[in-house]
């Protein structure tokens, strides 16, 4: 029996995850060799290139949103996981406390300092700085810090009375000097070649200078120095370059039979604003037999305007008047990413780095497999 190639509608249907009022259907992808008799689904880089596309929605320093269309969830998820856990950043790793008479305990203070995101010159951060490795010999510890693997910072704050404060003043920030210790009080101490990479606008500095670290009262003091190292999010969340990196599947709203008049307005209210718009039924549509619009010229009908804004709440499936008129779903191969950088990397650069990272991982393992066979 000769096999008929699948129609366009059939291919489109295969991509949709069905969302019913109580259940979800067609969750797994089926594009594997042998799944459909007579169809070839084997890996083909040219076919992938033809079917794959990227669409940008937003590209800012702290937030980027884009769609990957035409790839599998396993690939999309690998990129997401790598962005969160495997892209290296610089963060405070060791805190050496000389004096801390504030009410914040040393270990809590050290933890707070570690979580502050820092920025600096890209060339220095990503090319010049290397990993710091703990020496196997504990005695060699002090010989392991170099300009290319450690960044030194210090924080020296003393709280004193402000003699110029107005009489009767109750605001501690006006009554005292340095009542609040902020991230901007942290001072960068360049060593060796670090001057070359981290000077001027490229200096190592907190991304958000207004992060409150501690509160002091007159006579209290914080005096400490810090070492920053490169690390990855899988070791500690403070090293993660993103606040969040997530994706969701593109919602699909399919109005199978016309929704008209007051029903249309109610239907639009079932969705977030902008998803469903109301349009007038044209004379041409009303004249068409079997379209469902006969005799409704001039009435309002519901049309899908922007499914991307939908949250897939299923509210419309709870109302009897929309029964069998609408089908909800999601596109299995359309991933809408949202990457929120903490500031050390550009949001879009994190994704590019994630792709490069996955490639490097595969390349390393390919060598390992060859080595295993030898």
Partner 1 sequence: MPRAKTRKEEPVEAGSDTVMEEAPTSHQPESRDDMSVDQDENDEAGEAEEDEIEEEEEVQRVRLLPGSTPTAASFEFLNEGHTLGNALRYIIMKNPDVEFCAYAIPHPSEAKMNVRIQTFEGTTAIEALEKGLRDVQDLCDVVSDKFIDAREKFVAGASS
Which among 207, 297, 357, 252 has a CA at the least distance from the CA of 18? 252
Taking CB under 8 A as the rule, does residue 358 contact partner 1?
yes
- Each residue 303-322 as x (binds partner 1 by CB under 8 A) or -, in order, gives --------------------
23 vs 371, which CB is nearer to partner 1? Answer: 371
Phi-psi region of 157 (alpha: psi -120 to 50; beta: other; left: phi over 0): beta
C-alpha distances in Å from residue 170, one per residue of 31, 63, 194, 216, 217: 69, 40, 44, 15, 13
Which among 117, 130, 89, 115 has a CA at the least distance from the CA of 205? 117
Give the shortest CB-306-to-partner 1 separation in angstroms.
Answer: 18
Enumerate residues 6+ apart whose C-beta is below 8 A from 328.
Answer: 18, 19, 20, 251, 252, 253, 254, 312, 314, 316, 317
Q: Are 120 and 244 in contact (CB under 8 A)?
A: no
Q: Which of 103, 189, 212, 363 binds partner 1 (CB under 8 A)?
A: 363
Phi and psi angles of residue 158, each rounded to the nearest 5 degrees, phi first: -125, 135
Q: Considering only the stretches 218-226, 271-279, 312-320, 359-367, report the one whose residues sit in contact with partner 1 under the rule CB under 8 A.
A: 359-367
Which among 21, 73, 36, 25 has a CA at the least distance from the CA of 336? 73
32 vs 146, which CB is nearer to partner 1? Answer: 32
Taking CB under 8 A as the rule, does residue 28 contact partner 1?
no
Taking CB under 8 A as the rule, does residue 1 contact partner 1?
no
271 vs 351, which CB is nearer to partner 1? Answer: 351
Rounded CA-CA distance 96/236 in Å is 19
Taking CB under 8 A as the rule, does residue 351 contact partner 1?
yes
Give the shortest CB-363-to-partner 1 separation in angstroms.
Answer: 6
Which among 208, 313, 303 has a CA at the least distance from the CA of 259? 303
Which DSSP category does 260 fall into?
B
Q: Considering only the stretches 99-107, 114-122, 200-208, 348-356, report the one whose residues sit in contact with partner 1 under the rule CB under 8 A.
A: 348-356
Phi-psi region of 192 (alpha: psi -120 to 50; beta: other; left: phi over 0): left
Q: Which of 20, 49, 161, 236 binds partner 1 (CB under 8 A)?
A: 49
Q: Which two tokens stand for residue 156?
A: 């020296």
- Give CA angle at 101 (95, 105), nearest 5°: 55
Taking CB under 8 A as the rule, does residue 144 contact partner 1?
no
Taking CB under 8 A as the rule, does residue 237 contact partner 1?
no
Q: Which of 1, 45, 139, 201 binds partner 1 (CB under 8 A)?
A: 45
Give the shortest CB-6-to-partner 1 separation in angstroms.
Answer: 16
Chain residues 67-126 in contact with partner 1, contact rule CB under 8 A: 68, 71-72, 74-75, 77-79, 81-82, 85-86
CB count within 10 Å of CB 38 equals 10
310 vs 346, which CB is nearer to partner 1? Answer: 346
Q: Which two tokens stand for residue 316?
A: 């419309």
Taking CB under 8 A as the rule, does residue 40 contact partner 1?
yes
108 vs 369, which CB is nearer to partner 1? Answer: 369
139 vs 372, which CB is nearer to partner 1? Answer: 372
Site size toward partner 1 (CB under 8 A) is 51
Give the shortest CB-351-to-partner 1 separation in angstroms.
Answer: 7
Taking CB under 8 A as the rule, does residue 293 contact partner 1?
no
Question: What 3-state class would DSSP assign to 302?
Answer: strand
Q: Are 210 and 183 in contact (CB under 8 A)?
A: yes
| Interface with partner 1 (CB under 8 A) | 31-34, 37-38, 40-43, 45, 48-49, 52-56, 59, 66, 68, 71-72, 74-75, 77-79, 81-82, 85-86, 348, 351-352, 355-356, 358-359, 361-363, 365-366, 368-374
């Amino acid at each position: 029996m000769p096999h008929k190639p699948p129609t366009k509608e059939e291919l489109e249907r295969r991509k949709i995850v069905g969302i019913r009022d109580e259940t979800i259907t067609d969750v797994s992808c089926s594009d594997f060799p042998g799944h459909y008799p007579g169809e070839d689904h084997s890996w083909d880089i040219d076919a992938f290139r033809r079917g794959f596309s990227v669409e940008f929605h937003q590209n800012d320093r702290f937030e980027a949103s884009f769609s990957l269309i035409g790839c599998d969830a396993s690939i999309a998820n690998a990129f997401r996981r790598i962005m969160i856990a495997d892209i290296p950043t610089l963060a405070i790793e060791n805190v050496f406390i000389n004096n801390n008479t504030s009410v914040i305990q040393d270990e809590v203070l050290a933890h707070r300092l570690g979580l502050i995101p820092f920025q600096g010159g890209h060339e220095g951060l990503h090319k010049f700085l290397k990993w710091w490795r703990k020496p196997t010999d504990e005695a060699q510890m002090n010989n392991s810090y170099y300009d290319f693997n450690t960044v030194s910072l210090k924080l020296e704050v003393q709280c004193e009375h402000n003699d110029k404060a107005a009489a009767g003043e109750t605001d501690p920030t006006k009554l005292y000097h340095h009542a609040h210790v902020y991230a901007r009080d942290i001072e960068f101490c360049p060593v060796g070649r670090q001057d070359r990479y981290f000077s001027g606008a490229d200096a190592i500095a907190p991304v958000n200078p207004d992060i409150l670290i501690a509160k002091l009262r007159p006579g209290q003091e914080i005096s400490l120095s810090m070492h920053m190292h490169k690390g990855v999010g899988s070791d500690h969340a403070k090293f993660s370059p993103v606040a969040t990196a997530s994706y969701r599947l593109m919602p699909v709203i399919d109005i199978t039979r016309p929704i008209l008049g007051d029903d249309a307005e109610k239907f639009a209210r079932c969705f977030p604003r902008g998803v469903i718009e109301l349009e007038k039924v044209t004379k041409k549509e009303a004249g068409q037999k079997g379209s469902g619009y006969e005799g409704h010229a001039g009435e309002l009908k519901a049309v899908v305007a922007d499914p991307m804004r939908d949250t897939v709440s299923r509210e419309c499936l709870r109302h009897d008047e929309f029964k069998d008129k609408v089908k909800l779903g999601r596109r299995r191969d359309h991933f809408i990413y949202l990457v929120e950088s903490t500031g050390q990397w550009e949001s879009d650069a994190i994704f590019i780095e994630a792709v490069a990272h996955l490639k490097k991982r595969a390349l390393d393992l390919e060598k390992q497999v060859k080595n295993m066979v030898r």
